[in-house]
Structures are given as structure tokens and as C-alpha cells.
């Protein structure tokens, strides 16, 4: 194969071409060669994945059409370039790190500065207000019914998973509870006078959708406490399984209780928000931007509130519980109470998201609350950086933008292959997420270093 001559071509191609090639090839270690094999294999795989599909007449068309074309060379070259970068990185990693150390210090100073953080927050807020009106209706729709709602969900789950360290795989259930609460209370006590309720059951009183927020928050709070009280004694994996079960139970109950929830047909005709208090009158309509501004306002408020929470007694207690539950309890922290608190706060945030979604789309069905949505929200949290509020916003926004963008670029059915590949690469090379929280980044750093304290324990022994 001709790759053997290639590596230096991507590295340096100056004078003394022949000798420098030989020198570089000679300096390659076994693991470099293995990595080269891996990169080439990945290149062929990606070429196959993105190539033409096979069909019934020519079973091998998928393979031949993908591989025996000039495009394979293109992919192999990309693989080679990737290999060169990775090899250079492993070889010069320490030098590069040392070289970047001053810059990193400056970066830490700047990003740690409170005024810079305020500035960043205001800048993002301004962008979120000014840019969307310029976008196409398609992207406005994505912003309102996907990004906005899911950012809110991600911020809420971030409290549960990122702050308190509780793995919740049934988070979307609270979103469902919020949405159905909105559907229920926006109905009318009776069907007289042409009133139509979204659900077959009638509430004791009619509530304007805008004022369903507190009711949904309370409903989700109660649901969170009911689920949390018996289960939060469990740890890690066990809690994950229980919450997974809870998520499915909620969805299936909604799906099967036809006489209460309309079953799989869902609740429809949920009215748009409207405010009509004294002189303040406003009606949300099919127009998307008002919904977007409402979402931005709610996200900004929740963001600020949770930021305060993170840097408070409560946030520190959560960190303590996450780090070492036994030590936290021995330091006087009521662990169960704090875990319940995290669970309830996360649940009520997703209740807010549920109400906005229900009112904006006007229609909710059990299909909105499938397991994959719980998992996606978790992915957004981890991708953005667990425990990091900016990370939650960035993670959810980017990972929802990506598949929508890919719709135009690749075969639609392949979109989630790229999505998945991105997650795999991300978790290998940057497990702490895009914008990791300071505390979480340290935890991951400590885990990789084998946690300093443990080594010191082993050392003395006979020194007594």
C-alpha cells in the first residue's frame, strides 16, 4: 500500500524529503502503527456508511459503489490526516500543554471572572432575542418546540444528575405530567356553551393556560416526591433502573387510560397562553416568536436561580453527597432530604417545559414521552458537561441543531449515525463535556489520577 510513503506528506514536505521520511518512519512505535491501522479501518467504515446503499438487484452495490470510487481516496486521506494529528499529539502532548499553560491560566482567570460571566450571559440572551426573528419558519419551529423546551428539560435534569449525582432515566415522565396537567386544567367544568376540553375528564375549575404553570409545578413536585421517597435510598444503577421503570409506567398508564387521557389519540385543543389581568392583556397565537421569548425568559430566570442554588449551602451539600455519601451524612447533611429536594426541583422544571410544549403545539400524546426522550435529555446533560448550566444550554442546543441541520446534508435516515458517532468520539476524548463545571472537571481529573489520598495511605505502614 502506498500509505507507507504518505505520513510525512501530511506532516512536513520541505527539503530533504527522502531522509526525513525515513527518519519519521523509523521513529514510529508499534502503537503508532496500530493507530494507523485503526484510522484506515475507520476511514473505510465511514466510506461504506456514507456511500450508496445496496439494493435487491445488486447486493454488492453498496460495497462496490462506496469503495471502488475516487471517494475512497478522499476518506483514506482524511484518516491519514487524523492519524498524523493523533500521533503528533501523543508525542508532543506535554510540550503542547506546557506551551499552552500561560494561555490556559489567562483563560481560567477570564472565564472565572464574575463580570465576564455576567457579560457572557447578557450576550447570549441578546443573541437569543435578536437572531431568531431573522430565521426561517423551519428553524423558528425547531427553536420553540424542540430547542427551547429541551433546554429547559436539560437544565432541570442537570440539577438531578449533575448537581446531586442521581441517575434518572425516567425524567421525561415529569414532562408528561406537566403537559397533561396543562391539558386537564385548561379544560372546562362542563361541555355546555360549546366549551371543548382537551381531555374527556373535566377539571373542577377552568384555568387559563398561563396560570397552569404553578399547578404543573406542584403536580410534578408531588410526583417527584412520591417517586423519590421510596427509591432515593437506592444508589447509582439501581436508582437508574427504578426511574426507567417509572418513566415507562407513566407513559403506559397515559396510553391505556383511554377514558381519562384519550389514550394514544392524546389530548388536543389545548389553548394558547393568554394573559388577561386587569390592564395587562396579551394573547399568544400561532405566531412562534412570542412563544420563543416566553421560553427565553423562563430559561433565563431558571438559569439564574439554579446558578445561585449551585453556589449555596444546598449546592455544596449536593456536591458532598455526590462525592461521598457516608462522609456527607457524618457531616450532618440529611442525605435523603437533599436528594429528594434535587429530584423535586428537577421534576418541577420539567413541568414548566411540559406546560409550554402543550400550549404551543396544542396537542400532546404518549408518543411525546417515549424512553428515548429521557435518554436524549441525559445525553444533552452529559455532552454539555454534567453540573454545568452553560453546558446544559449549549449541549441541548447543539445536539438538537445537529440532526436538523444534517437533514439537508446527508441521507435523512443516516442522521443519527452521525449523531451517535459524535457522542462516541466526544466521550472518548472529552468525557467531562463541552463546558464542564469546575467541580465536575476536578472530579474527573482526580479519578484519572487515581485520587491522591489513596496512594498516601499505602505508603507509611512500618513508619510508626
**C-alpha to C-alpha distances, 146 to 279, 373, 394, 398, nearest whole angstrom:** 32, 11, 14, 11
Phi, psi (5° rounding) for residue 245?
-60, -40
Considering the complex, state which of residue 69 and residue 438 has its C-beta at the smaller distance from other proteins. Answer: 438
Does position 328 interact with other proteins (CB under 8 A)? The reply is yes
Does position 456 interact with other proteins (CB under 8 A)? The reply is yes
Contact segment (CB under 8 A) with other proteins among 150-158, 181-189, 194-202, 301-309 equals 301-309
In 3D space, the residue among 446, 398, 454, 445 whose CA is nearest the CA of residue 423 turns out to be 398
Does position 312 interact with other proteins (CB under 8 A)? The reply is yes
Cell numbers found for residue 165:
449525582
Pick out residues in 97-156 that bind other proteins (CB under 8 A).
Answer: none
Size of the chain in residues: 464
Binding mask 382-421 for other proteins (x = CB under 8 A): ----------------------------------------
- CA 55 to CA 60: how far, in whole Å? 8
Phi, psi (5° rounding) for residue 275?
-115, 130
**C-alpha to C-alpha distances, 39 to 43, 277, 430, nearest whole angstrom:** 6, 64, 19
- CA 281 to CA 295: how far, in whole Å? 18
Does position 463 interact with other proteins (CB under 8 A)? The reply is yes
- CA 355 to CA 210: how far, in whole Å? 9
Kind plus residue range of the DSSP H or E element containing 282: strand 280-283
Does position 451 interact with other proteins (CB under 8 A)? The reply is yes
Pick out residues in 331-350 that bind other proteins (CB under 8 A).
Answer: 331-335, 341, 345
Does position 372 interact with other proteins (CB under 8 A)? The reply is no
Contact segment (CB under 8 A) with other proteins among 4-12, 226-234, 322-330, 416-424 equals 322-330
Helix pair 149-157, 172-185: axis angle to 10 deg: 130
Does position 446 interact with other proteins (CB under 8 A)? The reply is yes
Does position 230 interact with other proteins (CB under 8 A)? The reply is no
Helix, strand counts (H, E) of the chain = 21, 4
Kindly tell me which residue out of 109, 190, 323, 367 binds other proteins, with binding defined by CB under 8 A: 323
Kindly tell me which residue out of 212, 309, 347, 356 binds other proteins, with binding defined by CB under 8 A: 309
Cell numbers found for residue 269:
385543543
Kindly tell me which residue out of 315, 385, 390, 395 binds other proteins, with binding defined by CB under 8 A: 315
Kindly tell me which residue out of 16, 102, 204, 453 binds other proteins, with binding defined by CB under 8 A: 453
Binding mask 257-296 for other proteins (x = CB under 8 A): ----------------------------------------
Residues that bind other proteins (CB under 8 A): 305-306, 308-309, 312-317, 319-320, 323-324, 326-335, 341, 345, 439-440, 442-443, 446, 451-453, 456-457, 459-464
Amino acid at each position: 500500500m502506498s500509505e507507507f510513503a504518505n505520513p510525512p506528506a501530511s506532516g512536513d514536505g520541505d527539503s530533504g524529503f527522502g531522509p526525513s521520511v525515513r527518519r519519521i518512519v523509523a521513529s514510529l512505535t508499534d502503537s503508532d502503527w496500530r493507530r494507523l491501522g485503526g484510522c484506515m479501518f475507520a476511514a473505510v467504515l465511514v466510506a461504506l456508511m456514507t456511500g450508496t446503499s445496496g439494493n435487491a438487484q445488486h447486493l454488492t452495490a453498496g460495497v462496490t459503489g462506496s469503495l471502488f470510487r475516487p471517494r475512497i481516496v478522499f476518506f483514506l486521506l482524511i484518516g491519514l490526516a487524523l492519524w498524523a494529528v493523533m500521533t503528533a499529539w501523543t508525542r508532543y502532548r506535554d510540550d503542547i500543554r506546557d506551551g499552552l499553560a500561560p494561555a490556559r491560566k489567562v483563560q481560567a482567570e477570564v472565564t472565572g471572572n464574575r463580570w465576564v460571566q455576567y457579560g457572557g450571559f447578557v450576550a447570549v440572551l441578546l443573541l437569543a432575542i435578536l437572531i431568531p426573528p431573522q430565521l426561517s419558519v423551519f428553524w423558528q419551529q425547531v427553536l420553540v418546540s424542540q430547542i427551547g423546551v429541551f433546554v429547559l428539560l436539560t437544565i432541570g435534569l442537570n440539577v438531578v444528575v449533575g448537581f446531586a449525582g442521581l441517575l434518572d432515566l425516567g425524567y421525561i415522565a415529569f414532562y408528561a405530567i406537566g403537559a397533561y396537567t396543562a391539558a386537564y386544567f385548561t379544560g372546562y367544568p362542563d361541555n355546555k356553551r360549546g366549551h371543548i376540553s382537551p381531555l374527556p375528564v373535566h377539571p373542577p375549575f377552568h384555568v387559563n393556560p398561563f396560570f397552569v404553570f404553578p399547578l404543573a409545578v406542584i403536580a410534578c413536585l408531588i410526583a417527584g416526591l412520591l417517586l423519590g421517597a421510596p427509591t432515593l435510598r437506592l444508589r447509582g444503577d439501581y436508582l437508574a433502573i427504578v426511574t426507567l421503570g417509572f418513566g415507562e409506567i407513566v407513559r403506559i398508564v397515559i396510553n391505556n387510560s383511554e377514558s381519562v387521557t384519550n389514550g394514544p389519540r392524546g389530548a388536543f385543543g389545548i389553548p394558547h397562553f393568554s394573559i388577561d389581568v386587569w390592564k395587562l392583556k396579551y394573547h399568544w397565537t400561532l405566531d412562534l416568536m412570542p412563544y420563543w421569548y416566553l421560553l427565553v425568559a423562563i430559561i433565563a430566570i431558571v438559569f439564574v436561580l439554579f446558578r445561585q442554588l449551585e453556589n449555596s449551602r444546598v449546592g455544596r451539600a449536593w456536591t458532598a453527597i455526590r462525592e461521598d455519601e457516608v462522609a456527607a451524612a457524618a457531616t450532618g447533611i440529611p442525605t435523603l432530604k437533599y436528594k429528594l429536594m434535587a429530584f423535586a426541583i428537577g421534576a418541577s422544571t420539567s413541568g414548566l417545559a411540559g406546560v409550554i410544549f402543550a400550549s404551543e403545539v396544542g396537542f400532546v400524546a404518549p408518543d411525546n414521552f417515549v424512553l428515548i426522550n429521557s435518554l436524549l435529555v441525559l445525553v444533552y446533560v452529559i455532552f454539555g458537561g454534567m453540573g454545568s448550566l452553560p453546558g446544559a444550554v449549549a449541549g441541548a442546543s447543539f445536539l438538537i441543531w445537529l440532526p436538523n441541520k444534517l437533514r439537508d446534508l446527508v441521507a435523512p435516515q443516516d442522521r443519527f449515525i452521525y449523531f451517535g458517532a459524535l457522542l462516541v468520539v466526544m466521550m472518548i476524548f472529552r468525557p467531562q463535556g463541552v463546558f464542564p463545571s469546575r467541580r465536575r472537571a476536578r472530579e474527573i481529573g482526580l479519578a484519572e489520577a487515581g485520587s491522591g489520598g489513596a496512594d498516601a495511605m499505602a505508603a507509611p505502614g512500618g513508619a510508626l
